[in-house]
Each structure stands twice: as C-alpha cells, then as structure tokens.
Amino acid sequence: MTSAQPQYWLMKSEPAECSIDDLARAPGQRVPWIGVRNYQARNFMRDTMRVGDGVLFYHSSCAEPGVAGLARVASAAYPDPTQFEPASPYFDAKSPPATPRWLLVDVALVKKTRLLPLRTMRQRPELATMQLLKPGNRLSITPVTAAEWAAVTALLDAPET
DNA sequence: GCCAACGTTGGC
DNA sequence: GCCAACGTTGGC
C-alpha cells in the first residue's frame, strides 16, 4: 500500500517569532520550522509527514490566537541547525552532532487567510474533535483529520458572521 | 502575571 | 524504574 492519502497538520508558531506575514515575506515564501524541542512533535515530522501535506498555520501565545493561513510541508525532515548554535535559544548542548536529536521540515505558504480565532473554533461543534481544542493540549504540531481540515477551510472561506 | 497541564530530569 | 521537583506551554 503505497498510495498516499492526503495528510493534514496544525502547526503552532508564535507570531513574534514567525507570523504568517513573515512566512509570506520569506525567500520562496518558505521557512525551516526551527525550534521544535518536543519528541512527539519531532516524531511527526520525522516519521509521518510527507512533502505536500496540508498545514494549518496557527498563531499561538499572542493577543489573538487562531489559524492565520494555509501552508504545506515542503521538505523531508532534516537536522535543525539551531540545536548546534550556542547563541540560539534553541541550542541543545546534549545533541550529538553525528546523530542530531532535533529535526525540522520546511513549510511553504499556500495562502494567508483571515484569522479564524481560537475562541470561534471552540464554538464550532464540527471542530470539537481537534487535538488543539483538547484540554491541556500543548503540542506544537498535531495531526488534523480530513474532516477537520474540510471544516476549517470551509469556515475560512465562509463570510465572516 | 497567573496557573493548569504535562513533559523532562535526576536522585534514589 | 519510580516519582517528586522543576520547567515550559499557552490561554486567559
């Protein structure tokens, strides 16, 4: 079974670090997803993501958290260079250079959308299954089902109410 | 700034 | 391998 079903993800980014506008201004409208230091999120990038997977680009830790755009996975996983940069906040002294602990993928812009606020998402029963909305969720990368993706993109396309 | 949730660390 | 302490996330 090699046929690839489309896969979808939600990826959190602090807009003070990299906003949807920063992504739109980046060379090739593409950025390396630096800074993931959680094994579960790393494993998603390393083991499950494929080039072309859909990404909900989510703004976290900001005044208006929510989905700010659509993107796609643009590379296979490769070592996150910031783990070896002592001046970086993402430096990890324990990561062996020969077998880097932390990986990343490149993410490319598909389109900036209007903001779909977290508070709105919480009100939509069709989104209730999203891992993002589960109590205590902190994972910065979570899988999104095809049904959830369809529901989110439908809300983004719908006129604001 | 608070705090709940939860992942990681390290002593034993 | 247990588990308490600690650190981080991230909404509010």
In the structure, what pLDDT confidence band is assigned to residue A158 with cuts at 50, 70 and 90?
confident
Average pLDDT over residues A55-68: 96
Asked if residue A41 is part of any domain, the answer here is yes
Q: Which nucleotide is closest to A117, CA to C1'?
A: C11
Domain total for chain A? Answer: 1
Asked if residue A50 is part of any domain, the answer here is yes
For strand B, the positions having any atom within 7 A of a protein Cβ are: 4-9
Asked if residue A42 is part of any domain, the answer here is yes
Quote the pTM value.
Answer: 0.94
In the structure, what pLDDT confidence band is assigned to residue A123 with cuts at 50, 70 and 90?
very high
Asked if residue A140 is part of any domain, the answer here is no
> pLDDT value at position A109?
98
Query: Do A90 and A37 meet the contact criterion of CB atoms below 8 Å apart?
Result: yes
Identify the CA nearest to A82 among candidates A109, A61, A102, A60.
A102
Residue A132: Cβ within 10 Å count? 21
What is the domain range of residue A16?
8-134
Asked if residue A100 is part of any domain, the answer here is yes
In the structure, what pLDDT confidence band is assigned to residue A2 with cuts at 50, 70 and 90?
low
Residue A109 CA and nucleotide B1 C1' are separated, in Å, by: 35
Asked if residue A130 is part of any domain, the answer here is yes
The more confident residue out of A99 and A72 is A72
3-class SS letters over A15-71: HHHHCHHHHHHCHHHEEECCCCCCHHHHHHHHHHCCCCCEEEEEECCCCCCEEEEEE
Asked if residue A36 is part of any domain, the answer here is yes
In the structure, what pLDDT confidence band is assigned to residue A122 with cuts at 50, 70 and 90?
very high
Asked if residue A113 is part of any domain, the answer here is yes
**Which helix (DSSP H) or strand (DSSP E) does residue A146 occupy?**
helix A146-157
Residue A95 CA and nucleotide B1 C1' are separated, in Å, by: 33
Residue A14 is part of a domain; what is its CATH number? 3.10.590.10
In the structure, what pLDDT confidence band is assigned to residue A3 with cuts at 50, 70 and 90?
low
Residue A50 CA and nucleotide C1 C1' are separated, in Å, by: 36
